[in-house]
Amino acid sequence: MKEAPVLILGIETSCDETAAAVVADGRRILSNLVSSQVELHARYGGVVPEIASRQHLLLLNPLIDDALKEAGVQLKDLQAIAVSHGPGLVGALLIGVATAKALAYAARLPLVAVNHLEAHLYANQLEGAVISYPAVNLIVSGGHSELLLIDESGAIKSLGRTRDDAAGEAFDKVARVLELGYPGGPLIDKMAREGNPAAIDFPRAWLGNDGPYDFSFSGLKTAVINHLYHARRRGEQINMPDLVSSFQEALVEVLVEKTIAAARDLEAQTVLLSGGVAANSHLRRRMQERLRASLPAVTLHYPDLKLCTDNAAMIAAAAYPLYQRKGFASLDLNADPGLGIGRP
Ligand code: KG4
Ligand code: ZN
Protein backbone atom coordinates (compact mmCIF):
# COMPACT_ATOMS: atom_id res chain seq x y z
CA MET A 1 0.00 0.00 0.00
CA LYS A 2 1.22 3.50 -0.79
CA GLU A 3 2.19 5.44 2.32
CA ALA A 4 0.08 8.48 3.16
CA PRO A 5 1.89 11.72 2.37
CA VAL A 6 3.39 13.82 5.17
CA LEU A 7 1.40 17.06 5.24
CA ILE A 8 3.05 20.08 6.83
CA LEU A 9 1.51 23.49 7.40
CA GLY A 10 4.11 26.24 6.95
CA ILE A 11 3.81 29.69 8.52
CA GLU A 12 5.91 32.72 7.55
CA THR A 13 5.80 36.19 9.17
CA SER A 14 9.44 37.28 9.34
CA CYS A 15 9.06 40.56 7.44
CA ASP A 16 6.15 42.11 5.56
CA GLU A 17 4.56 39.06 3.94
CA THR A 18 2.01 37.07 5.92
CA ALA A 19 2.08 33.56 4.46
CA ALA A 20 0.62 30.09 5.04
CA ALA A 21 1.00 26.95 2.93
CA VAL A 22 0.40 23.21 2.98
CA VAL A 23 3.08 21.04 1.37
CA ALA A 24 3.08 17.25 0.93
CA ASP A 25 6.35 15.34 1.45
CA GLY A 26 8.37 18.55 1.30
CA ARG A 27 7.80 18.89 -2.45
CA ARG A 28 4.21 18.99 -3.57
CA ILE A 29 2.49 22.33 -2.94
CA LEU A 30 -1.19 21.89 -2.02
CA SER A 31 -1.70 25.55 -1.19
CA ASN A 32 0.61 28.55 -0.96
CA LEU A 33 -1.00 31.82 0.10
CA VAL A 34 0.82 35.12 0.57
CA SER A 35 -0.86 38.26 1.79
CA SER A 36 1.50 41.07 0.96
CA GLN A 37 1.51 44.23 3.05
CA VAL A 38 3.45 46.10 0.37
CA GLU A 39 0.79 48.78 -0.16
CA LEU A 40 0.63 49.58 3.55
CA HIS A 41 4.40 50.07 3.80
CA ALA A 42 4.82 51.75 0.40
CA ARG A 43 3.93 55.22 1.66
CA TYR A 44 6.82 55.04 4.15
CA GLY A 45 9.30 53.79 1.51
CA GLY A 46 10.12 50.69 3.53
CA VAL A 47 8.85 48.21 6.09
CA VAL A 48 7.60 49.72 9.36
CA PRO A 49 8.07 46.93 11.96
CA GLU A 50 5.12 47.95 14.17
CA ILE A 51 2.73 47.99 11.21
CA ALA A 52 4.06 44.62 10.01
CA SER A 53 3.40 42.96 13.39
CA ARG A 54 -0.09 44.38 13.66
CA GLN A 55 -0.97 43.26 10.14
CA HIS A 56 0.34 39.74 10.75
CA LEU A 57 -1.91 39.55 13.78
CA LEU A 58 -4.94 40.56 11.71
CA LEU A 59 -4.19 38.44 8.65
CA LEU A 60 -2.57 35.23 9.83
CA ASN A 61 -5.46 33.22 11.29
CA PRO A 62 -7.84 33.71 8.36
CA LEU A 63 -4.98 33.03 5.94
CA ILE A 64 -4.20 29.71 7.67
CA ASP A 65 -7.88 28.76 7.40
CA ASP A 66 -7.81 29.58 3.69
CA ALA A 67 -4.58 27.64 3.12
CA LEU A 68 -6.08 24.54 4.78
CA LYS A 69 -9.30 24.93 2.82
CA GLU A 70 -7.50 25.35 -0.50
CA ALA A 71 -5.41 22.25 0.24
CA GLY A 72 -8.60 20.36 1.05
CA VAL A 73 -7.40 19.36 4.52
CA GLN A 74 -8.19 20.03 8.16
CA LEU A 75 -5.81 20.52 11.08
CA LYS A 76 -6.28 16.90 12.12
CA ASP A 77 -4.97 15.69 8.75
CA LEU A 78 -1.59 17.39 9.23
CA GLN A 79 1.59 15.77 10.53
CA ALA A 80 3.35 18.94 11.72
CA ILE A 81 3.22 22.73 12.03
CA ALA A 82 6.30 24.56 10.78
CA VAL A 83 7.19 28.17 11.43
CA SER A 84 9.99 30.51 10.46
CA HIS A 85 11.51 31.61 13.82
CA GLY A 86 14.34 33.80 12.46
CA PRO A 87 16.06 35.80 11.16
CA GLY A 88 13.71 38.74 10.73
CA LEU A 89 11.86 41.45 12.63
CA VAL A 90 11.33 40.27 16.17
CA GLY A 91 7.75 41.53 16.57
CA ALA A 92 6.76 40.08 13.20
CA LEU A 93 8.39 36.70 13.88
CA LEU A 94 6.66 36.47 17.27
CA ILE A 95 3.19 36.49 15.69
CA GLY A 96 4.05 33.45 13.55
CA VAL A 97 5.82 31.65 16.38
CA ALA A 98 2.98 32.23 18.90
CA THR A 99 0.36 31.15 16.36
CA ALA A 100 2.29 27.99 15.40
CA LYS A 101 2.79 27.05 19.05
CA ALA A 102 -0.90 27.52 19.83
CA LEU A 103 -1.92 25.40 16.82
CA ALA A 104 0.60 22.67 17.61
CA TYR A 105 -0.58 22.55 21.22
CA ALA A 106 -4.28 22.55 20.35
CA ALA A 107 -3.98 19.93 17.59
CA ARG A 108 -1.28 17.90 19.44
CA LEU A 109 1.06 18.13 16.49
CA PRO A 110 4.84 18.40 16.49
CA LEU A 111 6.24 21.90 16.02
CA VAL A 112 9.15 22.43 13.61
CA ALA A 113 11.28 25.59 13.84
CA VAL A 114 12.68 26.66 10.47
CA ASN A 115 15.52 29.06 9.71
CA HIS A 116 14.05 31.54 7.18
CA LEU A 117 17.32 31.72 5.21
CA GLU A 118 17.66 27.95 4.98
CA ALA A 119 14.06 27.86 3.77
CA HIS A 120 15.01 30.10 0.81
CA LEU A 121 17.34 27.27 -0.28
CA TYR A 122 14.37 24.94 -0.65
CA ALA A 123 12.56 27.08 -3.20
CA ASN A 124 14.41 25.35 -6.07
CA GLN A 125 13.62 21.85 -4.81
CA LEU A 126 9.94 22.71 -4.52
CA GLU A 127 9.88 22.96 -8.28
CA GLY A 128 11.29 19.48 -8.61
CA ALA A 129 14.78 20.61 -9.61
CA VAL A 130 17.22 17.71 -9.41
CA ILE A 131 20.30 19.22 -7.82
CA SER A 132 23.84 17.84 -8.17
CA TYR A 133 26.25 18.65 -5.36
CA PRO A 134 28.35 20.45 -4.35
CA ALA A 135 26.15 23.44 -5.10
CA VAL A 136 26.83 27.13 -4.68
CA ASN A 137 23.72 29.01 -3.58
CA LEU A 138 23.39 32.77 -3.77
CA ILE A 139 20.64 34.05 -1.45
CA VAL A 140 19.82 37.66 -2.25
CA SER A 141 16.88 39.26 -0.50
CA GLY A 142 15.80 42.47 1.20
CA GLY A 143 17.68 41.54 4.36
CA HIS A 144 20.47 39.21 3.19
CA SER A 145 23.14 38.56 0.58
CA GLU A 146 24.83 35.25 1.29
CA LEU A 147 27.03 32.99 -0.80
CA LEU A 148 26.85 29.41 0.45
CA LEU A 149 28.33 26.03 -0.39
CA ILE A 150 26.03 23.04 0.08
CA ASP A 151 27.26 19.45 -0.01
CA GLU A 152 25.50 16.15 -0.63
CA SER A 153 24.64 15.72 3.07
CA GLY A 154 22.93 19.11 3.14
CA ALA A 155 25.70 20.71 5.22
CA ILE A 156 25.88 24.45 4.59
CA LYS A 157 29.15 26.36 4.59
CA SER A 158 29.13 30.14 4.51
CA LEU A 159 31.52 31.46 1.84
CA GLY A 160 30.70 35.15 2.11
CA ARG A 161 28.05 37.71 2.84
CA THR A 162 27.34 41.39 2.58
CA ARG A 163 29.32 43.70 4.81
CA ASP A 164 26.72 46.45 4.71
CA ASP A 165 23.49 46.69 2.69
CA ALA A 166 21.82 43.58 1.32
CA ALA A 167 21.27 43.49 -2.45
CA GLY A 168 17.49 43.98 -2.13
CA GLU A 169 18.05 46.76 0.37
CA ALA A 170 20.26 48.56 -2.17
CA PHE A 171 17.49 48.24 -4.80
CA ASP A 172 14.90 49.53 -2.31
CA LYS A 173 17.02 52.44 -1.05
CA VAL A 174 18.02 53.58 -4.55
CA ALA A 175 14.37 53.43 -5.63
CA ARG A 176 13.40 55.50 -2.60
CA VAL A 177 15.94 58.23 -3.41
CA LEU A 178 14.76 58.26 -7.02
CA GLU A 179 11.14 58.38 -5.76
CA LEU A 180 10.18 55.34 -7.82
CA GLY A 181 8.17 53.57 -5.12
CA TYR A 182 8.45 50.48 -2.91
CA PRO A 183 9.63 47.75 -3.16
CA GLY A 184 12.30 49.05 -5.51
CA GLY A 185 13.58 45.79 -7.00
CA PRO A 186 10.73 44.99 -9.40
CA LEU A 187 10.31 48.67 -10.39
CA ILE A 188 14.00 49.10 -11.20
CA ASP A 189 14.07 45.73 -13.00
CA LYS A 190 11.28 46.93 -15.29
CA MET A 191 12.55 50.46 -15.88
CA ALA A 192 16.13 49.25 -16.49
CA ARG A 193 14.98 47.39 -19.61
CA GLU A 194 14.49 50.78 -21.31
CA GLY A 195 17.90 52.11 -20.29
CA ASN A 196 21.55 51.79 -21.29
CA PRO A 197 23.48 49.75 -18.68
CA ALA A 198 26.78 51.30 -19.82
CA ALA A 199 25.58 54.91 -19.55
CA ILE A 200 27.19 55.55 -16.13
CA ASP A 201 30.21 53.68 -14.81
CA PHE A 202 29.24 53.09 -11.18
CA PRO A 203 31.80 51.52 -8.79
CA ARG A 204 31.97 47.76 -8.21
CA ALA A 205 33.27 46.66 -4.79
CA TRP A 206 35.40 43.59 -5.58
CA LEU A 207 37.08 43.64 -2.13
CA GLY A 208 40.13 41.72 -3.45
CA ASN A 209 41.76 38.94 -1.47
CA ASP A 210 40.36 40.45 1.67
CA GLY A 211 36.90 39.06 0.94
CA PRO A 212 36.71 37.31 -2.44
CA TYR A 213 33.15 36.13 -1.79
CA ASP A 214 31.94 39.03 0.35
CA PHE A 215 29.73 41.82 -0.94
CA SER A 216 29.43 45.52 -0.25
CA PHE A 217 26.71 47.65 -1.83
CA SER A 218 26.62 50.80 0.26
CA GLY A 219 29.33 52.49 -1.86
CA LEU A 220 27.30 51.85 -4.99
CA LYS A 221 24.19 53.26 -3.34
CA THR A 222 26.11 56.39 -2.29
CA ALA A 223 27.50 56.77 -5.82
CA VAL A 224 23.95 56.76 -7.23
CA ILE A 225 22.87 59.37 -4.67
CA ASN A 226 25.92 61.56 -5.47
CA HIS A 227 25.31 61.25 -9.20
CA LEU A 228 21.73 62.41 -8.71
CA TYR A 229 22.76 65.26 -6.43
CA HIS A 230 25.41 66.61 -8.82
CA ALA A 231 23.18 66.26 -11.88
CA ARG A 232 20.42 68.20 -10.10
CA ARG A 233 22.84 70.91 -8.96
CA ARG A 234 24.03 71.35 -12.50
CA GLY A 235 20.42 71.52 -13.60
CA GLU A 236 20.91 68.52 -15.92
CA GLN A 237 18.02 66.41 -17.15
CA ILE A 238 18.26 62.96 -15.54
CA ASN A 239 17.69 59.94 -17.74
CA MET A 240 16.07 57.63 -15.18
CA PRO A 241 16.14 54.42 -17.25
CA ASP A 242 19.89 54.93 -17.94
CA LEU A 243 20.54 55.65 -14.27
CA VAL A 244 18.73 52.58 -12.89
CA SER A 245 20.03 50.37 -15.67
CA SER A 246 23.64 51.36 -14.85
CA PHE A 247 23.03 50.83 -11.12
CA GLN A 248 21.51 47.39 -11.73
CA GLU A 249 24.37 46.48 -14.08
CA ALA A 250 26.99 47.31 -11.42
CA LEU A 251 25.17 45.34 -8.72
CA VAL A 252 24.39 42.31 -10.89
CA GLU A 253 27.92 42.12 -12.30
CA VAL A 254 29.36 41.76 -8.78
CA LEU A 255 26.78 39.13 -7.77
CA VAL A 256 27.39 37.12 -10.94
CA GLU A 257 31.20 37.27 -11.03
CA LYS A 258 31.59 36.36 -7.35
CA THR A 259 29.16 33.45 -7.67
CA ILE A 260 30.97 32.18 -10.78
CA ALA A 261 34.36 32.49 -9.04
CA ALA A 262 33.03 30.49 -6.07
CA ALA A 263 31.57 27.81 -8.36
CA ARG A 264 34.89 27.52 -10.22
CA ASP A 265 37.12 27.55 -7.11
CA LEU A 266 35.00 25.00 -5.24
CA GLU A 267 34.21 22.81 -8.24
CA ALA A 268 30.47 23.15 -7.85
CA GLN A 269 28.15 21.18 -10.13
CA THR A 270 25.19 23.49 -9.65
CA VAL A 271 24.51 27.16 -9.06
CA LEU A 272 21.28 28.03 -7.25
CA LEU A 273 19.67 31.44 -6.88
CA SER A 274 17.10 32.24 -4.22
CA GLY A 275 15.56 35.15 -2.33
CA GLY A 276 13.57 38.10 -3.64
CA VAL A 277 16.37 39.52 -5.83
CA ALA A 278 16.60 36.14 -7.62
CA ALA A 279 13.43 37.39 -9.35
CA ASN A 280 15.58 39.99 -11.14
CA SER A 281 15.48 39.33 -14.87
CA HIS A 282 18.93 40.81 -15.55
CA LEU A 283 20.54 38.69 -12.80
CA ARG A 284 18.95 35.50 -14.16
CA ARG A 285 19.96 36.22 -17.74
CA ARG A 286 23.48 37.35 -16.93
CA MET A 287 24.17 34.39 -14.64
CA GLN A 288 23.04 31.98 -17.35
CA GLU A 289 25.14 33.67 -20.04
CA ARG A 290 28.29 33.81 -17.92
CA LEU A 291 27.94 30.18 -16.78
CA ARG A 292 27.49 29.01 -20.35
CA ALA A 293 30.57 30.91 -21.40
CA SER A 294 32.92 29.98 -18.56
CA LEU A 295 31.55 26.90 -16.76
CA PRO A 296 29.31 25.11 -19.28
CA ALA A 297 29.07 21.90 -17.22
CA VAL A 298 27.50 23.73 -14.27
CA THR A 299 23.69 23.78 -14.17
CA LEU A 300 21.76 26.86 -13.04
CA HIS A 301 18.44 26.75 -11.17
CA TYR A 302 16.30 29.64 -10.01
CA PRO A 303 12.78 29.38 -8.64
CA ASP A 304 9.57 30.62 -10.13
CA LEU A 305 8.97 34.29 -9.26
CA LYS A 306 6.44 33.56 -6.53
CA LEU A 307 8.83 31.17 -4.80
CA CYS A 308 11.73 33.67 -4.93
CA THR A 309 10.09 36.14 -2.58
CA ASP A 310 8.97 35.24 0.94
CA ASN A 311 6.40 32.46 1.08
CA ALA A 312 5.36 29.66 3.42
CA ALA A 313 5.72 26.74 0.99
CA MET A 314 9.50 27.06 1.40
CA ILE A 315 9.04 26.94 5.20
CA ALA A 316 7.03 23.70 4.99
CA ALA A 317 9.55 22.24 2.52
CA ALA A 318 12.50 23.07 4.79
CA ALA A 319 10.63 21.50 7.72
CA TYR A 320 10.24 18.13 5.99
CA PRO A 321 13.79 16.80 6.53
CA LEU A 322 13.65 18.06 10.13
CA TYR A 323 10.33 16.26 10.59
CA GLN A 324 11.83 13.06 9.22
CA ARG A 325 14.68 13.17 11.74
CA LYS A 326 12.26 14.18 14.50
CA GLY A 327 14.00 17.51 14.91
CA PHE A 328 11.07 19.04 16.76
CA ALA A 329 10.97 22.31 18.68
CA SER A 330 9.51 22.59 22.16
CA LEU A 331 6.54 24.76 23.01
CA ASP A 332 8.81 27.35 24.60
CA LEU A 333 10.27 28.18 21.15
CA ASN A 334 11.17 31.85 20.85
CA ALA A 335 11.80 34.15 17.88
CA ASP A 336 15.49 34.47 16.99
CA PRO A 337 15.80 37.73 15.00
CA GLY A 338 19.58 37.42 14.47
CA LEU A 339 19.68 33.77 13.40
CA GLY A 340 22.47 33.18 10.86
CA ILE A 341 23.13 30.53 8.23
CA GLY A 342 25.96 28.06 7.62
CA ARG A 343 29.17 27.38 9.49
CA PRO A 344 32.04 29.71 8.67
O1 KG4 B 1 13.07 37.39 -0.07
P2 KG4 B 1 12.23 38.62 0.03
O3 KG4 B 1 10.78 38.53 -0.38
O4 KG4 B 1 12.19 39.16 1.50
C5 KG4 B 1 13.26 39.14 2.37
O6 KG4 B 1 13.48 38.09 3.03
O7 KG4 B 1 13.94 40.19 2.41
O8 KG4 B 1 12.98 39.76 -0.79
C9 KG4 B 1 12.44 41.04 -0.95
C10 KG4 B 1 13.45 41.88 -1.73
C11 KG4 B 1 13.10 43.36 -1.81
O12 KG4 B 1 14.25 44.12 -1.47
C13 KG4 B 1 12.75 43.56 -3.29
O14 KG4 B 1 13.04 44.87 -3.77
C15 KG4 B 1 13.60 42.51 -3.97
O16 KG4 B 1 13.55 41.39 -3.09
N17 KG4 B 1 13.09 42.13 -5.29
C18 KG4 B 1 13.77 42.37 -6.44
C19 KG4 B 1 12.94 41.94 -7.51
N20 KG4 B 1 11.79 41.43 -6.96
C21 KG4 B 1 11.91 41.56 -5.61
N22 KG4 B 1 14.98 42.92 -6.65
C23 KG4 B 1 15.40 43.05 -7.93
N24 KG4 B 1 14.65 42.68 -8.99
C25 KG4 B 1 13.44 42.12 -8.84
N26 KG4 B 1 12.72 41.75 -9.91
ZN1 ZN C 1 13.27 36.12 2.69
pLDDT in tens, 238-286: 999 999 999 999 999 999 999 999 999 999 999 999 999 999 999 999 9
pLDDT at 196 (0 to 100): 98
Distance 185 CA to ligand 1 centre (A): 6
Distance 236 CA to ligand 2 centre (A): 38
Distance 17 CA to ligand 2 centre (A): 9
pLDDT at 98 (0 to 100): 98
**Which residue minimizes the CA distance to atom 21 of ligand 1?**
276
Whether 132-302 and 7-121+308-324 are alike in CATH topology: the answer is yes
What residue spans define the domains of the chain? 7-121+308-324, 132-302
Give the number of the ligand closest to the Cα of residue 37. Answer: 1
Non-local (6+) Cβ contacts of 166 within 8 A are 140, 141, 142, 143, 144, 145, 217
pLDDT in tens, 54-93: 999 999 999 999 999 999 999 999 999 999 999 999 999 9
Give the number of the ligand closest to the Cα of residue 89. Answer: 1
Percent of the chain exceeding pLDDT 70 equals: 100
Just give the CATH number of 7-121+308-324: 3.30.420.40
Non-local (6+) Cβ contacts of 157 within 8 A are 148, 149, 150, 151, 342, 343, 344
From the alpha carbon of 17, which atom of ligand 1 is closest? Answer: 3
Does residue 186 contact residue 142 with C-beta atoms inside 8 Å?
Answer: no
Check if CATH label 3.30.70.270 holds for domain 132-302.
no
Comparing 78-82, 151-155, 203-207, 263-267, which segment has the lowest mean pLDDT? 151-155
**Which residue minimizes the CA distance to atom 7 of ligand 1?**
142
What lines the ligand 1 site, CB under 6 Å? 15, 141-143, 168, 171-172, 183-186, 189, 275-277, 279-280, 309-310
Give the number of the ligand closest to the Cα of residue 315. Answer: 2
